[in-house]
Structure formats: structure tokens, C-alpha cells
Homo-oligomer: A and B are copies of this chain.
Amino acid sequence: MKNMFTQSEENYLKAIFHLQEEAGEGVSTSALAELLETKAASVTEMIKRLANKNLVDYKKYYGVQLTQTGRKQALTVVRKHRLWESFLVERLNFNWDEVHEVAEQLEHIRSPKLVEELDRFLGRPAYDPHGDPIPDASGNLPKAPKKRLSQLKEGQKGVCKGFNDASSAFLKFLDDQDIGMHTEMKVMQIQSFDESMTVQVGKRQVLLSKTATDNIYVED
């Protein structure tokens, strides 16, 4: 059996991938330990195992980086994680904030056919319920990942491209504010203490909470 990784190995690869995404360069032992809720000593050990399997490049005391193979493997796990999250939210009435733990388990199920069929069944979604891009079967990520409204800075404009919270209450609220798909918005002001935003929508100014802006996707 060649392409066989343990659940733990897959979790490490995914964690390294995520940390690499944002921080770039070498991922530190302590960052991994924190993210994986384990101890530094355990991380060092696993890192050595992954390095032996050529999944990561490891320079003692200076952190790890995924190899090509490691990245590829990490991407298949990310793909499964996000597809399952989509399934849970769109078909099984899960709320977007209660899917993570289950997806954390489901992402380790081994079956190429299952992944492919799940993808088809869901209509080949490009983004998961949190707005994160879903890698395709070959590991390609949609290049321009959606942004959340909450990620825009004061003065920036964006066009609404989707919502995360599909609850009817939220959608109704948006409708009341004249916010819908393709609505153009401009960030007028951000309150620092609670990150709420005043947003220009057409000729109206609307105040949106962080919770709300987290759930609105925009394109600039």
C-alpha cells in the first residue's frame, strides 16, 4: 500500500498547509503544537516521520515546509474537508458553525469514488460554507478566493457575491437592507471596538455587525 497515511499524519499535513498559507516560509513546531492541540515534543516526532516519508522538508530548529507530494496530499484532505462541510450545511441542515468537528473526521475517509460522487452530488461547489475555496480533483484552488465583507478596509468597495449564513432570518435581514447578490457596497467606517461596519448601499448607509459582515462574500 503506497498512498496510505494515518489520520494523524493527514492532520499534520493539513495543519502545515494552513500555517504555510498565511505565515509563509517555515512552519514552527510551536505553531503546529498549538493548532493541533498537542505538545511540541509530539510535533517534533511526527515531523521527523513526515520528513522520512518525503512529505516535508525539515531543518532542525527551523521549522518545516511541505514538499510537492506533501502539499498534494494536504490538498486532498482540504478538498474532502470542505466538500463534507458543504454537504452537511446544504443537505443535512447543519449550521455553518457546527460542521467543523464532524468534517474533521469525515476528511479522513478513504475512497476516491466517494469524493468524486460527493462533488458531483453537490454540483461541484467552488466554495465551502465558510467561503473557503474547494480544491478540485487535481489540487487546483480557485485563484481568486472570495473575500468576506469583513476583510475590506475603510474606503474599499465590493460587490456582493454570496452569503454564508443561509438562515432565512439573515437573508430577510439583508433583503430589508436592500442587500442582495451583486449589490455594490462601500465600506464607510469600521468601529474598532466591535468591528461593526457602516456600509454605503445605494443611497443608504447601513450598520452591519461583525457577524453579518463575516457572512457576506464580496469581490472587489
A-side residues, CB < 8 A to B, are 88, 91-94, 98, 101-102, 105-106, 109-111, 113-114, 117-118, 121
- Chain B residues positioned under 8 Å from A109 (CB to CB): 102, 105-106, 109
Q: Are A113 and B91 in contact (CB under 8 A)?
A: no
How far is it, in angstroms, between the C-alpha of A119 and the C-alpha of B109 when the chains are bound? 20
Q: Are B110 and A94 in contact (CB under 8 A)?
A: no
Instruction: Enumerate the 9 nearest inter-chain pairs by beta-carbon distance, A residue then B residue, closest first.
Output: A92-B117, A102-B111, A105-B109, A102-B114, A93-B117, A92-B121, A91-B121, A106-B109, A92-B118
How far is it, in angstroms, between the C-alpha of A98 and the C-alpha of B114 when the chains are bound? 11
How far is it, in angstroms, between the C-alpha of A163 and the C-alpha of B98 when the chains are bound? 34
- Chain B residues positioned under 8 Å from A102 (CB to CB): 109, 111, 113-114
In the assembled complex, the CB of A101 is this many whole angstroms from the nearest CB of chain B, namely 7
Q: Are B118 and A111 in contact (CB under 8 A)?
A: no
In the assembled complex, the CB of A8 is this many whole angstroms from the nearest CB of chain B, namely 13
How far is it, in angstroms, between the C-alpha of A111 and the C-alpha of B91 when the chains are bound? 16
How far is it, in angstroms, between the C-alpha of A88 and the C-alpha of B109 when the chains are bound? 13
How far is it, in angstroms, between the C-alpha of A56 and the C-alpha of B117 when the chains are bound? 39
- Chain B residues positioned under 8 Å from A117 (CB to CB): 92-94
Q: Which of B101, B110, B114 contacts A88 (CB 8 A)?
A: B114
How far is it, in angstroms, between the C-alpha of A49 and the C-alpha of B39 when the chains are bound? 28
- Chain B residues positioned under 8 Å from A105 (CB to CB): 109-111
Which of A88, A92, A101, A121 has the most B CB atoms < 10 Å from its CB?
Answer: A92
Q: List 21 A-B contacts (CB under 8 A).
A: A88-B114, A91-B121, A92-B114, A92-B117, A92-B118, A92-B121, A93-B117, A94-B113, A94-B117, A98-B113, A101-B111, A102-B109, A102-B111, A102-B113, A102-B114, A105-B109, A105-B110, A105-B111, A106-B106, A106-B109, A109-B109
In the assembled complex, the CB of A46 is this many whole angstroms from the nearest CB of chain B, namely 20
